[in-house]
Amino acid sequence: MTISHSSIVEKAADATARATPASFARQVRGLSDRAIAWLFIAPAITLLLAINIFPLIWAVYLSFTNYRANRPNAPIQNVGLGNYERVLNDPDIWQAMQTTAHFVFWTILLQTVIGFALAYLIDRKFRGHAFWTTIILIPMMLSPAVVGNFWRFLYEPQIGLFAYAVSLVSGIPTSDVQMLGNVSLAPWAIVIVDTWMWTPYVMLICLAGLRSIPDYIYEAAEVDRASPWRQFWSITVPMALPFIMLAVLFRGIENFKMFDMVTLLTGGGPGSVTEVASITLKRAAFESWATGRASAFAIVLFVAVFGLANIYVRALNKVKQR
């Protein structure tokens, strides 16, 4: 004898109803849909408030104090805007912000251009395109710690493949190809690694954008005898633009927080040329234990990223509505 699926469900529902205490059932029956919805999302909201919102509010509070986490017994004094004044007048912090801006700008530019180009090629669906897509995605799947160490060896002047390749092309001796120890080259060494690792991510988003363009638009353009170049600029780019912008937003926010890879590759050096904002923040917060000042710096960073992202999202919405 076969028992139908619906009868199993009905039996289970009956059993649940019988097992539910009458008073609780009455209470639940008395609740509105809205109240039940709140009941379900309440744990998630509580967790969000505890993990995200509370630390943020706490950091705002600390940013107005002289609190040091390594001296918990010392009296906490209110210093007003002192920490913010110090952060905004600190040349080291401005230099770190400049360094961060440099990374964000160049990594986004390179990743967007190369990522879109790769997506465009993959979208042609040539023979073996699935295989190549998987190969291209590998760097993105690795952990930044692995990538950092891996590239440190690649950049090694004596045994590194990178130095060898540069030497082969340029004729410069490998021992002179010092990517990580050279003030001019070290920032670019990090840009190269980040681009290598995260271009596939941009490619993936762009690919989704390209695949979302209906074929009939291209067919209509061909009927109108539009050249491939014209089709690219008038159909492909505008229709994929919201996706490209989304990729830029994600990468921009991520690269503003760049930390692990820089730490592994250069430790912020040589000197301080690769000391990005997150490293400066970490040093202030967890090495110097200047918790109040570090909180002020974190808030400044948060406001900067939040403000820029907000402006950007508005632009993104406008593009989507076109």
Partner 1 sequence: MQKTSKALLGLATAFVMSSALPNLAKADELTLCWAAWDPANALVELSKDFTAKTGTQMKFEFVPWTSYADRFLNELNSHGKLCDLIIGDSQWIGGSAENGHYVKLNDFFDKEGIKMDDFVPATVVGYSEWPKNTPNYWALPAMGDVVGWTYRKDWFEKPELQKEFKAKYGHDLAAPKTYDELKHIAEFFQKREIDGKTVYGASIYTERGSEGITMGVTNVLYDWGFQYDNPKKPYEMEGFVNSDDAVKGLEFYKSLYDCCTPPGSSNVYMVESADAFKSGQVAMQMNFAFTWPGLYKDEKVGGDRIGFFPNPAEKAHFAQLGGQGISVVSYSDKREAALSYIKWFAQPEVQAKWWELGGFSCLNSVVNAPDFAKSQPYAQAFLDSMAIVKDFWAEPSYASLLQAMQKRVHNYVVAGNGTAKEALDGLVKDWSDIFKDDGKI
Residues 8-67 close enough to bind partner 1 by CB under 8 A? none
* Site string (66-105) toward partner 1, x via CB under 8 A: ---xxxxx--------------------------------
Contacting range for partner 1; rule: CB under 8 A; set: 10-18, 285-293, 298-306, 307-315: 285-293
Considering the complex, state which of residue 102 and residue 283 has its C-beta at the smaller distance from partner 1: 283
| Residue numbers 186-205 binding partner 1 by CB under 8 A | none
For residues 242 and 320, the answer to whether their CB atoms sit within 8 Å is yes
The mark string for 125-164 relative to partner 1 (x by CB under 8 A, - otherwise) is ------------------------------xxxx-x----
| Complex with partner 1: residue 152 or 257, whichever CB lies closer | 152
Q: Which residues pair with 65 in a beta bridge?
A: 78
CA-CA distance, 295 to 287, in Å (whole number)? 14
Q: Which is nearer to partner 1, 8 or 69 (CB)?
A: 69
The residue within the footprint of partner 1, chosen from 58, 271, 311, 318 (CB under 8 A), is 271
CB 87 within 8 A of CB 300: yes
Of the pair 122, 264, the CB lying nearest partner 1 is at 264
Q: Looking at 62, 154, 166, 180, which residue binds partner 1 (CB under 8 A)?
A: 180
Positions of E strands within 49-90: none
Q: Look at residue 320 and give its three-state secondary structure.
A: helix
* Interface region with partner 1, contact rule CB under 8 A, candidates 125-133, 141-149, 177-185, 249-257: 177-185
Closest alpha carbon to 259 in 247, 275, 237: 275
Could you tell me what percentage of the chain is helix, strand and coil, using 3-state DSSP and rounding each to the nearest 5?
75, 0, 25
Residue 72 Cβ vs partner 1, minimum distance, rounded to whole Å: 7
Nearer to partner 1, 144 or 160 (CB): 160
Closer residue to partner 1, CB minimum distance, 199 or 263: 263
How far is C-alpha 110 from the geometric centre of its chain's CA atoms?
15
**Contacts with partner 1: how many residues (CB under 8 A)?**
32
CB of 60 to partner 1, least distance (A): 21
Among 273, 281, 298, 301, interactor with partner 1 by CB under 8 A: 273
Q: Are 221 and 244 in contact (CB under 8 A)?
A: no
Residues 300, 100: contact at Cβ < 8 Å?
Answer: no
Q: To the nearest whole angstrom, how small is the minimum distance from the Cβ of residue 79 to partner 1?
A: 12
Residue whose pair of structure tokens reads 């005898």 in the numeric block: 225
Query: CA–CA distance from 32 to each of 21, 73, 176 (Å)?
Result: 19, 49, 73
Q: Which is nearer to partner 1, 68 or 221 (CB)?
A: 68
What does the DSSP 8-state code read for residue 49?
Answer: I
Spatial CB neighbours of 258, under 8 Å, sequence gap ≥ 6: 100, 103, 190, 194, 276, 278
Cβ nearer to partner 1, comparing 83 with 112 = 83
How far is the C-alpha of 261 from the C-alpha of 276, rounded, in Å? 11
- CB of residue 198 to partner 1, shortest distance in Å: 23
Closest by CA to 203, choosing from 128, 126, 113, is: 113
Binding site residues, partner 1, CB under 8 A: 69-73, 155-158, 160, 174-176, 178, 180-181, 183, 263, 266-273, 283, 286-290
